[in-house]
Chain A
Amino acid sequence: MQSIKIKDISKSFPGVKANSNISFDINEGSIHAIVGENGAGKSTLMKILYGMIKPDSGDIYVFNEKISLNSPKDAISYGLGMVHQHFMLADNFSVIESIILGIDNAGLKNLKLDQYKKSIKEVMERYSLNVGLDQFVDELGVGEKQRVEILKVLFRGAKILILDEPTAVLVPQEVDELFKNLKELQKNGVTVIFISHKLDEVLRIADEITVMRAGEIIDTVKSNEINKKQLAEMMIGSSLPKPPKRESDAGNKNILEIENLDATNQQGKKLFQNISFEIKKSEILGIAGVEGNGQKELIESLIGIQEISKGNIYLNRKKINTLSVQERLSLGISLIPEDRQAQALVMDMRLTDNVMLGRQSENQFKTNLSTVNFKNAISKSKKVINNFRVKTPNEATIVTALSGGNQQKFVVGRELEDHPSLLISSQPTRGVDIGAQALIWQKLRESRDKGLAVLLVSADLEELIGLSDRILVIYQGKFVANLNPEDITPEDLGAYMTGLKK
């Protein structure tokens, strides 16, 4: 029997098709993994399944009953339970209080904790989930907190457990513990949906694996009939339009030079180490890596948001380690951050306001009285809109009104319009339509030919191979390979990225 049957689910956001015609089944009592790169549509699908957003079309059946979800509350009543990546627990509550929070209608003063304790203990025993009920949440380790979350949903009668990237926060030993628990749940008839992009873990724990890419289901396969390489190929894919190959050769002058860069986070974990590379004039250097291997922090350290603990950064022979973000930008660095809405745009402001972002302290946006030069902001907006074919009623429109692709074209245009010497570009075409993608690729290549040095980080391997003059692979914070895009396939690249090949 199927615990869940998903039929033709589609969901679009302005400019992005997050899910298109998703259909697959999940067998009762199985551990079913859903894998895909960030932005593949996994989260959207799970939010639909948990009643947090409504699909544009399509049906969901739970235990052969067609259901319609308006809120997570509905989902819970059908036996669905979700454990979020970020825990939803109150530190100053005890475990038992956290578990019953929201269940008891009588209010806290009439709570019969002992009564609940008994029934919670039963659940704990049935599923072999151990955690001290009287401990406070802030005394618990990460693995234990997760167990509390699982207990919480089981206690509400969940028969289907959705785990969103559950291992992202765990150390290996905790992962083992979690997997033991999940197997135990499975034995007791609970269906587990396991969302991840860590292929090793998925192969270890799951019975079936559904692969998503660009909002579509690629296939559902049995985990014992597939290996990691095949899975990586499915996840990364090769169906997107291939950017045409480069034409010019890189110059000889080093624009950016990095020497032995190290950084650690506040917990003392190494984010990346011993990073050295250089980018020449008219060169696109691609950095390939599965998300979370240090590339994000590396970019942030180059523009000065992430602190480095060791090493040197030179831009045009000038050491910039200690300069502020603003000073670095004004030395000729442009940045296309990975998340345009969170990092590159102020959504409720006009294009003319956004066009100055990152350059607001420069003379081009100052009048003689050193007030903001809106005239120049308007003329630069118009230039960007024309040259990058941004579809908008006019330059006074607020950014939110534009589709994702047009927002991104605007960001790319804004950064390239200034003729920087170095462009740091992270996921430049993530979540945009094919037309916008082609235009962005063309513009990046044109700027490169005119002398721009580009650092390109992308999860889209076709894009990396097609645009880069050279590719470095980052794995667990270190560079593990220096590749020539001329003679590498996405499959090979995927193998380096997942640590299969060294």
Chain B
Amino acid sequence: MKIKYNLISLSAPVLALSLSVCITSLILIAIGKNPLETFALMYDYGTTGKSLVSIVNRFIPLYISAIAVAVGFKMGLFNIGVEGQYLLSALLAAAIGASFSVSRPVHILLIMIIATMVSAFWGAIAGYLKVNKGIHEVISTIMLNYIGTGIIAYLLGQVFNDEDKANLIPQTTPLPKTGQIPELNKLLSIEDLPSLHGFLPIAITLGIIYYLLIWKTTLGYNLRITGQNPIAAKFSGVDPKRLTMLAMIISGGFAGLVGMGPLLSYHHQYSIDFPAGLGFAGIGVALLGRNHPIGMAFGAILFAFLERSSQILDLRDVPKEIETMMSAFILLIVVVFYEIIRRYIVTQQIKEASKETES
């Protein structure tokens, strides 16, 4: 029975994707482009070996960002601040990580711990404000994003700017070799392709940790019941203030690792070129994947694929903004479908239960 319902739930994203393709097609027709050709083009380009590597590389931070958001979502908290949390922590981790050198695994681990702590602290501020001052986390995390951006601009320009070279753009000193995660290409014998980021196994591990945390621990149980019925949770002995604080810290902690994929495996330094926007993109992925580790993995792959495959469009005279619209349609539609399906499953179960009562 449970399997049947899971299959029905799966239909939501599939339907959302199909419907969004239809709507996008109509828009393409309206601007005089051939939708079939456009999608074929995107598919062909998106499935080249080079593209696939790039998609996986993009998947890594997107997935972790979704996990960070999902931790909050699970208890009904909206951590919009993943963006500021990961950027600020990436900068500090990059700057501090470049200032010392120890053996490789230790160095990498230390950088990750610094990032997690900075980011968790940034999340904890929003938690503190909510618990003690009643300030809604959406407001405070958005504000903290702005503050974070300001701090980054100051630190990057005035404090951590690498002065050894006459750089045109502000950037931190590059991490020493011991602070870099090697690529996976050799391991997978795909040496003719671009570098595949070595952070991939860590991202997958984080997905597993997230799953265990939410579904297998008492803390996760408390998060879930609070998300669905905060009053019942309170009556069951959950301290809502403590839990809010914890959730923001954990969510922020995960957010700190968003920037580690790009930093440790590719950029090796923080500059104004460091990938931004991953925190916001993660919200969409968490919504699409319904806060489930496997669902979010598919969501992250899908968005990474759309992003990559649309790069070809501009070259063929199709506006690549089509991709942004498509992602937006997917999200909009999937939210509606999830709710319809949720209601359908509830009525189905009520029917089953009333059959039971009669017999």
Contact = CB atoms under 8 A, between A and B. Distances in A.
Interface of A: 14, 303, 305, 324-330, 335, 337, 342-349, 353, 356-358, 360-361, 365-366, 370-372, 391-393, 396-398, 400-403, 406
Interface string B219-262: 01110110011011111111100000000000000000000000
A346 B231 contact: no
Contact of A329 (B237, B354, B356, B357): B237
Contacts of A406: 353, 357
A392 B358 CA distance: 11
A70 B234 CA distance: 37
Contacts of A347: 228-229
A357 B225 contact: yes
Given A349-B225, A349-B228, A400-B349, A344 B217 contact: no
Given A358-B236, A371-B212, A391 B229 contact: no
Nearest to A347: B229
B232 A348 contact: no
A342 B232 contact: yes
A348 B236 contact: no
Contacts of B353: 391-393, 397, 401-403, 406
Contacts of B215: 372
A403 B228 contact: no
B225 A348 contact: no
A17 to B, nearest CB: 15
A357 B217 contact: no
B104 interface: no
Max chain A C-beta neighbours (<10 A), residue from B217, B221, B224: B221
Given A344-B235, A361-B237, 20 more contacts: A324-B237, A325-B239, A326-B238, A328-B237, A335-B235, A344-B232, A345-B229, A346-B229, A347-B228, A347-B229, A348-B346, A360-B218, A360-B236, A370-B217, A372-B216, A393-B1, A393-B349, A397-B353, A401-B349, A402-B353
A360 B232 CA distance: 13
18 contacts: A14-B350, A14-B354, A305-B235, A337-B235, A343-B235, A344-B235, A346-B225, A346-B229, A348-B342, A357-B225, A365-B218, A370-B217, A371-B216, A372-B218, A391-B357, A396-B1, A400-B346, A406-B353
Interface string B1-28: 1100000000000000000000000000
Contacts of A305: 234-235
A322 to B, nearest CB: 14
B37 interface: no
A400 B350 CA distance: 7
Nearest to B216: A371
Interface residues of B, number: 33
Contacts of A327: 237
Contacts of A303: 235
A398 B212 contact: no
Contacts, number: 109
Contacts of A372: 215-218, 220-221
B99 to A, nearest CB: 38
B352 interface: yes
Interface of B: 1-2, 212, 215-218, 220-222, 224-225, 228-229, 231-239, 342, 346, 349-350, 352-357
A320 B174 CA distance: 58
B237 A326 contact: yes
A365 B218 CA distance: 9
B232 A324 contact: no
A302 to B, nearest CB: 12
A83 B191 CA distance: 74
Contacts of B231: 342-343
Contacts of A401: 346, 349-350, 352-353
Given A343-B231, A371-B217, A393 B222 contact: no
Nearest to B222: A360
Contacts of A356: 221
A361 B220 CA distance: 12
Interface SS of B by simple majority? helix
Pairs of residues from A and B, 6 with the lowest C-beta to C-beta distance, nearest first: A326-B237, A401-B349, A401-B353, A358-B236, A371-B216, A325-B237
Contacts of A329: 236-237
A70 B356 CA distance: 33
Contacts of B216: 371-372
Nearest to B242: A324
Nearest to A398: B349
A219 B353 CA distance: 36
Contacts of A343: 231-232, 235
B239 A403 contact: no
Given A344-B232, A365-B218, A398-B349, A324 B239 contact: yes
A143 B217 CA distance: 50
A360 B219 CA distance: 9
Contacts of A391: 353, 356-357
A392 B356 contact: yes
Contacts of A365: 218
A349 B236 CA distance: 15
A342 B233 CA distance: 10
Given A391-B353, A391-B356, A398 B232 contact: no
Nearest to A340: B232
A103 B113 CA distance: 59
Contacts of A335: 235
A347 B216 CA distance: 20
A463 to B, nearest CB: 22
A402 B349 CA distance: 9
Contacts of A366: 218
Contacts of B221: 353, 356, 360, 372
A398 B212 CA distance: 22
A396 to B, nearest CB: 6
Nearest to A330: B237
B235 A358 contact: yes
A342 to B, nearest CB: 5
Contacts of B342: 348
Contacts of B349: 393, 397-398, 400-401
Contacts of B357: 391, 403, 406
Max chain B C-beta neighbours (<10 A), residue from A342, A356, A361, A403: A361
Nearest to B349: A401
A330 B357 CA distance: 34
A359 to B, nearest CB: 8
Max chain B C-beta neighbours (<10 A), residue from A330, A360, A366: A360
Max chain A C-beta neighbours (<10 A), residue from B212, B215, B225: B225
B75 to A, nearest CB: 12
A370 B229 CA distance: 24
A82 B186 CA distance: 74
Contacts of B224: 349, 353
Contact of B236 (A357, A370, A396, A397): A357
Contacts of B2: 396
Contacts of B222: 360
A259 to B, nearest CB: 24
B214 to A, nearest CB: 11
A349 B345 CA distance: 12
Nearest to B220: A372
B243 to A, nearest CB: 11
A325 B235 contact: yes
Contacts of A324: 237, 239
B227 to A, nearest CB: 9
A342 B218 contact: no
Contacts of A360: 218, 221-222, 225, 236-237
B88 to A, nearest CB: 33
B225 A393 contact: no
